[in-house]
Structures are given as C-alpha cells and as structure tokens.
Amino acid sequence: MSSDQDLSVGQLAARSGMRVSALHFYERRGLITSRRTTGNQRRYDRSVLRRVAVIGAAQRAGIPLATVARAFAELPSDGVPDQADWQRLSAAWQQEIDKRIAQLEHLRDRLDGCIGCGCLSLAACGFVNPDDAAGSRGIRSTLLDPDPPI
Ligand code: FES
C-alpha cells in the first residue's frame, strides 16, 4: 500500500543526489526496496532516503556495496539506520579505510623503485609481482586478483 509520503524514483533521485540508474542498481542489489503502484511504478518509503545517504557515504569512502549490504542485513527489522547504527557502521568502516590507506602507502613505497625503470620484471619488480606472489600460486597463476573486491 503506497502513501502520499512515498517517493517516485525521480523524487528519490532529486532528494538524494543519486542518479536514477544508480537507485535501480541499488534496488537490484537489495540495498533498497520499493513498492509498485497499480500502474507498476516504483514508490519508495521516505525512510529509503536515509539508506541511500548511507550508501552514498560508503561509496565515497570506497566501502564495497557487499559490505554495505551485510551492514544493512544486521539492522533492526525496519531496516532504517538510526544515529547509533550510523556511529557503529562508520566506526567499523574507519578501520577498513585505515587498512586500505596502509596498503596504498605500502604500494606507493614499492612504486618508488619503478619510477624511471619500466622493466616490469616478474622476478625483480616489487610492484608488478610483490614477493613473487604469482610464482607461489603455481605455474598457471596469473597476476589478476582471484578474489577482487566488489
Ligand atoms: S618496473 Fe622495474 S622494478 Fe618495477
């Protein structure tokens, strides 16, 4: 049952600053939900604005959508993050951001040796193949991440 307070996808996009295509994507991923009118148009409860705000903040911080989905799954039954939820989520995500910063600083330090080199040596370049990690995965290993972040 829709109410007069519900938002169309265009209204949700205008209020949240998200593109309509992004909202549809988040809905396909189960991060937000809508109801359908008798004319089969989407209608969003106003509380979805808060979920979209959290998704936007997470995206700006580089938090994967899968992580956001797991966090939303742990919210109380109404699924609307309140102030305490946001404090808990942002604290957990700060740890993840700190970890990424440390990884990037490590990569930057390795890259220093590559500047002006260009050898891309699998044996010698600490940036292309750090610690010969590809070699340790066997003869058919690749340099592609087998478990990329979402
Ligand atoms: S490109 Fe030569 S050491 Fe990295």
Indicate whether 120 belongs to any domain.
no
Residue 91 belongs to domain spanning: 9-99
DSSP per residue, 84-114:
HHHHHHHHHHHHHHHHHHHHHHHHHHHHHTT
- Whether residue 47 is contained in a domain is answered as yes
Number of independent structural domains in the chain: 1
Interval between CA 117 and ligand 1 midpoint (Å): 5
**Contact between residue 39 and residue 74 where contact means Cβ atoms under 8 Å apart:** no
Average pLDDT over residues 10-33: 95
Q: Evaluate whether residue 95 is within a structural domain.
A: yes
pLDDT digits (tens, 9 = 90+) for 51-102: 999 999 999 888 999 999 988 888 876 778 888 888 888 888 898 899 989 9
Evaluate if pTM is beyond 0.85: no
The reply to whether 41 falls in a domain is: yes
Alpha carbon distance 108, 143 (integer Å):
18
DSSP 7: B
Q: How do residues 40-65 score in pLDDT, each as one tens digit? A: 999 999 999 999 999 999 998 889 99
In this predicted model, what pLDDT tens digit does every residue of 115-138 receive, in sequence order?
888 888 887 787 777 766 666 666
Assess whether the C-beta atom of 119 lies below 6 angstroms from ligand 1: yes
Asked, for residue 119, whether it belongs to a domain, the answer is: no
Closest CA to 79 of 36, 30, 12: 30
CATH number at residue 42: 1.10.1660.10
- Contact 127 CB / ligand 1 (< 6 Å): yes
The answer to whether residue 80 is domain-embedded is yes
